[in-house]
Structure 1
Amino acid sequence: MSQSVKSGLAWGAEGQGRGAAGGRVAPRDGAVLVETSHALPIVSIVVAFRSGSALDPAGREGLARITARMLRRGAEGYSANEIEETIDALGGEFGTDVATSATTVHFEVIKRSLDRLVELGATLLARPTFSPPELARLLREAEAELIEARDSDRSLCSRAFRRTLFAGHPYGRRIAGTIPTLREITRDDVAAFYARHYTRRNAIVAISGDIEPGEAHGVAERLLSGLPEGEAIPDPVADPGARPGRCLVFVDKPERTQTQMVIGGLGTDAHDPDHMALLVANTAFGGTFSSRLMQEVRAKRGWSYGASSRAGFDRHRDAFTMWTAPAAQDAAACLSLQLGLLEALRRDGITEDELTFVKRYLVRSHAFEIDTARKRVHQKLDELLYDLPEGYHETYLKRIEDVTLEEANAAVRRRISEDDLVIGVVGTHEEIGEAIAAAVPRLAEVKVEPYDLE
């Protein structure tokens, strides 16, 4: 999804929402979403489960992701190599993704090969073998990927930020796990997680492309036919609380001539009455090339190639963030500037001209969010997987157009704090650590962490 209003989710839409006491209500069982388009002879399928890394047991973080990846590592009648060869022979695609709140298994194939890919997909979903040698191989690969990820300063910065902002909360976990937790995962763990979460009542199927609704429902039934009935999995996640004060978490990495920097705190929930107003205001602040952040940081000063802000959301309130990547010698000044821009945003708000521009931009660019059947069905899937308000996407344009200047600026002051902030920086602490800390007025806490911290 775009980095403007539609930040935070990916993936529709009946019978969901919050109960009277504020709890999350699961969608009806057996939901099948269909979006037909005969523009191309391609069919895309997503089988989604309302379980993600938030369900990882303590000490087994990464288990949901490992379980999903094992679906491709062997199933009844197929070795891992035979699965790959069959997918290639059909000209198809198969993949899995795990997020905090959901797991998705996705297929795409040319229409004439659909029947054979569905047969394979049903086998992979219902009869994985979880071969111990394949699991051992995957766990070694996953560990190597974590080590390789240390080369990505942006990933290190994001992880340190979320680990600090959401300390003790599932949103602060690493979906891929850590090296110690991966080493604790056994075949029994994988089999138990699969048995609990890969069930018909926990599944939603979204199908798009060159297929009629009746045929699509038949495909969905075939894909889920081998799964047990099971039960809908309740959302175990509580609403996160704000971390008080300004906290700097500095990830110390040697020989950094460029930094990665993220500043933020708690943001929005899709059920907030001012949710859309905040997202519109954020677009003006840091969601377009002409936004304030980009103009002040890049266009006027040349301190960072990119400068943006994002108001993400999941089933619960997620983070508001500002991102830049200045050179080490500019990092302290860039940080000070961004804090000043945030204070000015809360104090003075966005202008009428900014509001007019971003509303026009969001309405016009919306066409690119719904220009394919696949995108349209994924929007419907969003609403079910993430418990969005009913009709969230259907009423999007009207809600954008209805936002007033007063509502946008009130939402900024209500939802974004300039006092309760986490500032994440990746750089060489010996060279710029003191200057970075000095650039943050009212700094309550400083944490310096090694870049290879697990």
Structure 2
Amino acid sequence: MDGERRDGRRRDGRRGERRGGGVVTHVIVEPSPALPLVSVVVAFRSGSAHDPVGREGLGRITARMLRRGAEGWSSEKIEQTIDLLGGELGVDVSPSASTVHFEVIRRSLDPFVDLASTLLARPSFDEAELARLKREAEAELIESRDSDGTLCARAFRRTLFAGHPYGRRVAGCIPALRAIERADVVSFYGAHYARENAIVTISGDVDVEEGHAIAERLLSGLPVGASVPDPVQPPPRRPGRRLVFVDKPERTQTQMIVGGLGTHPNDPDHVALLVANTAFGGTFTSRLMQEVRAKRGWSYGASSRVGFDRQRDAFTMWTAPKASDASACLALKLELLHTLRKDGITKDELSFVKKYLVRSHAFEVDTARKRAYQKLEAALYDLPEGYHDKQLEQIEGVTLDEANAAIRERLSEDDLVVSVVGTFSQIGDAVAKSVPRLLETQVDPFDLE
């Protein structure tokens, strides 16, 4: 029944551009009557990469302020109404996008759309609410220092993408948050929250025509504007091996990330690298997990990942060994990376992961919301035509030579960042000595930001 309405009319999902009031609205609709729920995402092609220097975190603050008051709506009334209608509403910001998303039971859809359209088009940006939000955001940054995993990931990106927008924290830093004023929020909102910069994705218990009508209602109060160009340039490769050690007292366990620049969806060997990485560190039975956890018991988890954005993102290997095993674990990871580049993955590994990826694909498209998000992701990140639709075919077509060539081409063992959270006085020297050809060691306090 997924393709048809209960009254017999077709419910085919589609992505298109409709003209409403002389304005092109980018809309994705993925219908499904399976449950009486509707999920909506209003995404703007602007994120933290647009934050001015000295105002890092502005994009995230602006998005969060949408829920803190609008014309005729106090923040308390907004929260009460969301609960009363049985819905959920949230905002997310990444370097490349700002999204407002909500899910609501079908019978409450109309009043929820009215609320969301008001929040999007007529936010009040109340001074008192802004001051309260800034205090909350600062407290969240301080609280995040308790998460060693967060500190490790932050130090890694700060070092790998030094001087680049991808190296800046989406949530900002305390001095930048304190510097943000209402005029900054109003300016960011005015520059980026426009119809032509938006993509609306609707999934669930709606048909295509209704979905387009909902999108028009949601964006009707926004100015036409224009699609905002991405200011981000391709990140440069930083030569050499660099260690950034986040010094935190009394750590008996470490967090450790090793990696460098990875892949881009437009690379001809992008899918081949995704497949190869799955064999290396993408499953519970992967090589990295077997060597680190199963054979040596040095870390409960061990994984590798290749991320993507509009520009080239990072390749990372993650482990969390206890402090006494940190230097040996790091040396092993570097050795495994060397062997991976030298010898590649095996025929058996390739066969296994291709079957794994093909069989698990069903769980990536088993709901209308997941299918809609794939289409939104393709639009937001300028993915190649058919990136998701053709991925199964591309995965099955990857050869062993292609997978291993992608490893050698995209993954460097010379230009690396090693990020470690631990107590430097206890293990710092041993960790540094376990990295041959180390160009630079930087020790940062855990409360640096």
Bucket of the pairwise TM-score, normalised by the shorter protein: over 0.9
Match of 1:367 in 2: 362
Counterpart CA distance in 2 for 1:44 and 1:161 is 34
Q: Could you tell me which of 150, 175, 182 is aligned with 2:145?
A: 150
The answer as to 2:166 corresponding to 1:171 is yes
Counterpart CA distance in 2 for 1:175 and 1:113 is 33
TM-score, L = length of structure 2: 0.95
Q: Could you tell me which of 231, 238, 245 is aligned with 1:243?
A: 238
Counterpart CA distance in 2 for 1:57 and 1:29 is 29
CA contact (8 A) 1:13 1:391 kept: no
Aligned alpha-carbon RMSD (Å):
1.1
Structure 1 residue identity aligned to 2:438: L
CA contact (8 A) 1:30 1:203 kept: yes
Match of 2:29 in 1: 34
Structure 1 residue matching 2:186: 3-state secondary structure? helix
Unaligned runs of at least 5 residues, structure 1: 1-11, 16-27
The answer as to 2:352 corresponding to 1:353 is no
CA contact (8 A) 1:49 1:203 kept: yes
Structure 1 residue matching 2:129: 3-state secondary structure? helix
1:29 CA drift (Å) = 4.6
Match of 2:379 in 1: 384
User: Percent same amino acid at aligned positions?
Assistant: 72
Counterpart CA distance in 1 for 2:35 and 2:25 is 27
Structure 2 residue identity aligned to 1:211: V
Match of 2:112 in 1: 117
CA contact (8 A) 1:161 1:423 kept: yes
Comparing 400-409 and 29-38, the one that deviates more = 29-38
1:151 CA drift (Å) = 0.2
1:397 CA drift (Å) = 0.2
CA contact (8 A) 2:15 2:27 kept: no
TM-score, L = length of structure 1: 0.94
CA contact (8 A) 2:365 2:371 kept: yes
Counterpart CA distance in 1 for 2:41 and 2:354 is 32
The answer as to 2:70 corresponding to 1:75 is yes
1:107 CA drift (Å) = 1.0
CA contact (8 A) 1:247 1:423 kept: yes
Q: How does 1:226-241 map to 2 (within 5 A)?
A: 226-241=221-236
Q: Could you tell me which of 78, 87, 90 is aligned with 2:82?
A: 87
The answer as to 2:226 corresponding to 1:219 is no
Structure 1 residue identity aligned to 2:448: L
Q: How does 1:101-116 map to 2 (within 5 A)?
A: 101-116=96-111
Runs of 4+ in 1 over 3 A off after TM superposition: 12-15
Q: Could you tell me which of 178, 203, 223 is aligned with 1:183?
A: 178
Query: Could you report, residue by residue, the CA deviation over 1:175-234 in whole angstroms, capped at 9, with x for unpaired residues?
Result: 000000001100000001001100000000000000000011110000000000011100
1:14 CA drift (Å) = 7.7
Match of 1:328 in 2: 323
CA contact (8 A) 1:285 1:291 kept: yes
Match of 1:292 in 2: 287
Query: Could you report, residue by residue, the CA deviation over 1:402-442 in whole angstroms, capped at 9, with x for unpaired residues?
Result: 00000000000000000000000000000000100010001
Structure 1 residue identity aligned to 2:365: I
Q: How does 1:135-146 map to 2 (within 5 A)?
A: 135-146=130-141
CA contact (8 A) 1:14 1:390 kept: no
CA contact (8 A) 1:249 1:423 kept: yes
Q: How does 1:265-280 map to 2 (within 5 A)?
A: 265-280=260-275
Counterpart CA distance in 1 for 2:233 and 2:382 is 14
CA contact (8 A) 1:146 1:179 kept: yes
1:338 CA drift (Å) = 0.4
Structure 1 residue matching 2:417: 3-state secondary structure? strand
Counterpart CA distance in 1 for 2:405 and 2:92 is 37
CA contact (8 A) 2:248 2:446 kept: yes
CA contact (8 A) 1:73 1:130 kept: yes
Query: Could you report, residue by residue, the CA deviation over 1:289-309 in whole angstroms, capped at 9, with x for unpaired residues?
Result: 000000000000000000000
